[in-house]
A and B are shown apart, each in its own frame.
Chain A
Amino acid sequence: MSETKTPIFLENPVTTEIIRNALISAAEEMNESLARSSFSPIIYEMKDCSVGIYNENAELLGQSSGLPMFLGNLDVCIRETTNFIGGNDNYKPGDIYIMNDSYLAGSHLNDITIISPIFYDDYLVGFSATRAHWLDIGAKDPGYPMDAIEIYQEGVRIPPTKIYDAGEPRKDIIQLITINSRLSNDALGDMNAQIAACRTGEKRVYDIIRKHSLDTFRRSIKDIFKQSEIMDKEQISSIPDGVYEEEGYLDNDGVTDDPVLVKVKVTIAGDRLTIDLTGSSEQRQGMTNCGLAQTVSACRVAFKHLIGPDSPVTGGNFKTMDIIVPKRTIFSAEEPAACGWYFTSLGLLIDLIVKALSPVLKEQSAAAHYGDSMVITVAGHDKKSNSTFLYVEPTAGGWGAFSANDGQSGLINNSNGDFKNLPVEVLEGKYPLKINSYLLRENSGGAGKTRGGLGVTREYELRTNANLSMWFERSKTPGWGLFGGQSGKPPIVTVKTSNGEEDILKVNAKPLSKGDCVIVKTGGGGGFGNPLERPLENVLEDIIDGYIDADTASKEYGVTYDSSTVQVHRN
């Protein structure tokens, strides 16, 4: 906590705090407005969206995001738009812009960004911005392909484009965009929801300024940024100076089987933090690429994971954080790289930054989780309802252990935020699938003084002929341990057909028949600390609850279990 006195600030601290809270709340209202009026469940239920309010310099005032990876990735879009139209002077009240180009906005083309300038008495005072996942944006396959090798296969690419001119919709442009979606009605509905959310943001900012005056508002904003900067500097300064490096691999890019290298060098020097991704893989033919904007966002997420996860982010944050990314890597993709599966490499990047800094942030760190992606998709024709179905499920797995506790078992991965699995009873009613089991995967958590979380086992039986697509990851570098903890078990997916069994992790549109089964075993989280130091009673509890068996207790924890007395002792 700072002991700094106020003279560094411009405005009364009470007013500043009221404005700060009001802006956070305004962003939440934008988010509620978006969720309330959107058409697609992926927005209103999975919260695959984010909103933010910015000042006229595109600095963040308040944000609310559904997915962690969407932390502060909208400012770039505002700047790109401003550059494109030749500066702030060219915005008019009532203008609305749209864009989705991966190389500018960072994420895949399905993520649509919509921004609107905010005016107060003829002055441009800021922007409201939203990003939301549209179900279909005209890719070669419905939704998004799993095997694209160029961005042109992934859908319509939109540079900064004006869709409302001074309050008037540009109907031809709007139609040009929505007509390219297989679900054009939903696309239009979601576009309107995003516009409504922007209007909510505009209105709230207007009200806040009217209540406090523009001068006060602007002074308070500066103070809010100052506070964030002070906090960042305090926190970075508390980390010992040094260079911290890590690297890891994705199994492959889905097209060729070569591992995809992610290399991280974090340098702490006083109150400055530099993240250098030099040495990470060149951009790949498969979809594991992303635009720079999303890489910056992921680095910020890692920072939030380790430092101050509770305090809201503002334009004052990250001023002492530099990110170095060479051109044309998986983290700075350029034409024609496909970016559809951008989050899988970013998920690994986040985990690696945490790992790199763990020696100096032991209490805040955690061993690796089972990894991002881990998606199973079943698509086909349901005879019963005579309609096409598309079932997409990101599967849950084990999270890494940390100093204070075991890792969580059976939890959704980082890139999917607050995503909820579909209940078996609902799933079986809606899709021609039967779930034969849903269990924790015993012995899959990495051994450690605190144990990694367990993955899950989930068996799907097809009740009709259908195509299977999957993206499972980290079989080569499973969720690693820290401080002597062991890795969790890697994922295994077994496909059982009349022709026998086959283990596969990635596949696009593999035809399966009614009665075939897919048995998914997701990875466990890494352990934390030396397993031999795990308290005996915790090992015993794990055996009694069946999280580990006696064999694992003996091999990994050096503990012998006597089932007749229900007691353990060191080997």
Chain B
Amino acid sequence: MTRYRLAADIGGTFTDVVLFDKQTGQYNAEKVPTTVKNLSDGVLSGINRMVQDFNEVDFFVHGTTVGLNAFLERKGANMALIVTSGFRDLYEIGRANRSEIYNIQYRQPDPLIKRRHVYEVEERILVDGKIDMPLNYESLQNVINEIAEKDYDSVSVCLLHSYKNPEHERLIKQKIKEQLPEMSVSLSHEVVREWREYERTSTTVINAYIAPIVENYLSKFESEIDNRGLDRDLYIMQSNGGVMTSEIAKNKPIQTLLSGPVGGTMGSLTLGQQTANENLICVDMGGTSFDVSMVINGDPDVTSEANIEKFPILSPMVNMHTIGAGGGSIAWIEGGGLRVGPHSAGATPGPACYGNGGTEATVTDANLILGRIDADGFLGGKMKLDWNAAYEAIEKIAIKLDLSVVETAEGICDIANAKMADAIRTLTVTKGIDPRDFSLVAFGRAGPMHSMLIADHLDINRILIPTVAGTFSAWGMLQTDIRHDDVRNYVSFLENSDFSKIEDLYNDMEREAEIVLNQQNIGKEDIQFTRLVDLRYVGQEYTVTVPLVDGKIESNSINRLTELFNNTHQNIYGHSNPEGAVEVVNLRIVGLGKLENEENIQSSDKVLGSPEPIRRKAVVWNNKEIETPVYSTNDLAFGHIVSGPTIIESSTSTIVVPEYYTVNVDRFGNLEVIRRNEK
């Protein structure tokens, strides 16, 4: 009998494991230290605490950062790159832009492939796909000879206009494979069939760069869980908000880059469905990070183009905005004024109160001094904090400002909260939305510690805090479906585009997607396709992606499609141009393979009133120490109402509820925090 659904999310400091027991309908969560040397050790030890027999696991999904880490630490494959002759430096030059405009010592990040490993092959395809210069086999042979002499793990091939006509890329792979059968070869048109040579190359190169690391890790992990008796497919969380089997992940490692944080966005989506909230700002605040994502009208906000460490990636990803604030943000003095961040104490040494040698005052230290977190009760008592070290660090700042230590501590928190709110407001302005129409979902270890104070600055009246706030990303991974995206470049005026050609391209993509989804045990009847199209007004550079509500582009659907595009453009950019000619740029599909998602357990027995506090303690609110009740999430049940000011502790996070807020426990055990009107 299979009774468990299991999710594991490996973070920088902690590995979170969440287990759903189908027999009891209960979720269990474990937070164990991440084992940096061998990541699977930590995951398995977390699982072992909850599951005796791996045979009983029905479904196992896993968020991994190995690909991201290999990329960030520059520990990927040793690679060669083949390009069209005359364009050896397209990858090194990139878009030639300078993002730090007052920095005369600006350096682009070093390319993942040095110039010496970039080879040119004589050939040229034109923008319409016609061959201007046939592939010169002699020049190719010279390149293959050179590659054979060197010790490359893989070769990436990116030729101009290969998204339009991939013939030369395919021929090059064929020739290399004939002579070097062991060599792994990535073709740009297979990784992403979109135009823009630098972005396509960057995507292809990153994919190939992390491939061997991700593959090794997954193979090893699979064999370890295999040895313990789990004979199910291992699923991997993707950056696009869906999951894929580990076999597919080995081919598309680039889709694992945001594997961890995206779980939180998908969890928020489910939480929104449970609580009837379609518009969510999702705030994931860990010890050192602060990630903001959004759910808009019931859909996760997904971008088709992301940037990581200034490298472009053409691959659908949940839009994850990393903001330079978090528990580790350092307070400092400049020009006699108090500043908080953007520098962070990071994981090491971390805040002064971690006792790892940090001496600078951080936001976490301030929270400790204010009594909002507890030296002994932090993370359910798993981590002891050094109150004296925090006090000393803040005192240094307080003396310079001529303020008391408590005033300084609250000031540090106030500034950090206001800054986080400012950053969120700017994001919403960019998107053309008003934060007041949204609910805030707070998770991660430190999210619920700051969420009400951030919401206050944004005039957001409703904050949702999931039961499993500290391990919410892992929980979210259990609420997803299998997802496969694809794209084809097709540029034409919408009105005189070749509708049957477009239909063929959509059908091609869906046929290919079906194969990929079949490999992941999804039958045809369980596949749901969405067709989308990237449109723009003629003359524009950027595009807007809209779904094909009619499922097809044909002469009688054009008007409706144009209208939808005009409206979407209006929403995003504040204006539209209904008279303007519309141009098609890319065709996209999203294939979803429905997975069995268990009904989340609901409680029907509503309790009234409030639970008993586990203790009372002195907490500073508005520069006043107030004896404040402290509750445990273990004592909260459906129907309970708790009024601020109060602190609610769980084993994975601390919820700080200021005055003027009321906490309601819903039938799923989530906390809905509402601002009372009296303010």
Q: B426 contacts A25, CB within 8 Å?
A: yes
Q: Of B87, B99, B198, which is within 8 A of A437 by CB?
A: B87
Q: A417 contacts B89, CB within 8 Å?
A: no
Contacts A305-B102, A410-B96, A546-B116 given: A5-B402 contact, CB under 8 Å?
Answer: yes
Q: B400 contacts A41, CB within 8 Å?
A: no
Q: Which of A32, A226, A546 neighbours the largest number of chain B CB atoms within 10 Å of its CB?
A: A32
Interface residues in A, total, Cβ within 8 A: 92
Contacts A5-B402, A366-B104, A410-B89 given: A17-B575 contact, CB under 8 Å?
Answer: no
Name the CB-closest residue of B to A37: B574
Q: A420 contacts B334, CB within 8 Å?
A: no
A90 within 8 A of B: no
Q: B93 contacts A440, CB within 8 Å?
A: yes
Q: B116 contacts A424, CB within 8 Å?
A: no
Q: Of A28, A419, A439, which is within 8 A of B88 by CB?
A: A439
CB-CB under 8 A from A13, the residues of chain B are: 337-338, 401, 403, 411
Contact residues, A368-419 vs B (CB, 8 A)? 369, 396, 399-400, 402, 404-405, 408-412, 414, 417-419
Contacts A2-B335, A439-B87 given: A423-B199 contact, CB under 8 Å?
Answer: yes
Contacts A21-B415, A41-B541, A438-B90 given: A545-B116 contact, CB under 8 Å?
Answer: yes
Q: Which of B100, B102, B400 neighbours the largest number of chain A CB atoms within 10 Å of its CB?
A: B102
A8 within 8 A of B: yes
B323 nearest CB across to chain A (Å): 12
CB-CB under 8 A from B414, the residues of chain A are: 14, 18
CB-CB under 8 A from A24, the residues of chain B are: 422
B201 nearest CB across to chain A (Å): 10
Q: B95 contacts A428, CB within 8 Å?
A: no
Name the CB-closest residue of B to A64: B426
The stretch that binds B, out of A106-114, A174-182, A227-235, A283-291, is A227-235
B360 within 8 A of A: no
Contact residues, A1-54 vs B (CB, 8 A)? 1-9, 12-14, 16-18, 20-22, 24-25, 28-29, 32-33, 36-37, 39, 41, 44-45
Contact residues, B83-105 vs A (CB, 8 A)? 86-90, 92-105
Q: Of A14, A28, A424, A456, which is within 8 A of B415 by CB?
A: A14
Q: B334 contacts A1, CB within 8 Å?
A: yes
Name the CB-closest residue of A to B411: A14
CB-CB under 8 A from B199, the residues of chain A are: 423
B624 nearest CB across to chain A (Å): 15
CB-CB under 8 A from A266, the residues of chain B are: none
Query: Complex Cα distance A456/B86, Å?
Result: 12
Contacts A17-B339, A304-B102, A408-B106 given: A32-B430 contact, CB under 8 Å?
Answer: yes
A202 within 8 A of B: no
Q: Which of B418, B491, B539 neighbours the largest number of chain A CB atoms within 10 Å of its CB?
A: B418
A519 nearest CB across to chain B (Å): 12
Q: A2 contacts B336, CB within 8 Å?
A: yes
B92 nearest CB across to chain A (Å): 7
CB-CB under 8 A from A402, the residues of chain B are: 104-105
Q: A22 contacts B422, CB within 8 Å?
A: yes
CB-CB under 8 A from A418, the residues of chain B are: 97-99, 101
A118 nearest CB across to chain B (Å): 18
Q: Of B197, B338, B400, B419, which is within 8 A of A425 by CB?
A: B197
Contacts A2-B334, A17-B340, A22-B418 given: A68-B89 contact, CB under 8 Å?
Answer: no
Q: Supply 12 A–B pairs (Cβ within 8 Å), ascending by A.
A: A12-B411, A21-B415, A25-B425, A41-B540, A45-B541, A200-B429, A231-B334, A400-B104, A409-B92, A410-B89, A411-B97, A437-B86
Known: A14-B415, A429-B491, A440-B88. 16 other contacts (CB 8 A): A13-B401, A14-B411, A36-B432, A37-B575, A41-B539, A226-B335, A227-B334, A231-B335, A411-B96, A411-B97, A411-B106, A412-B98, A420-B95, A423-B197, A439-B88, A545-B115
9 smallest CB-CB distances across A and B, nearest first, come from: A14-B411, A227-B335, A437-B86, A25-B422, A37-B574, A396-B96, A410-B93, A420-B95, A309-B102
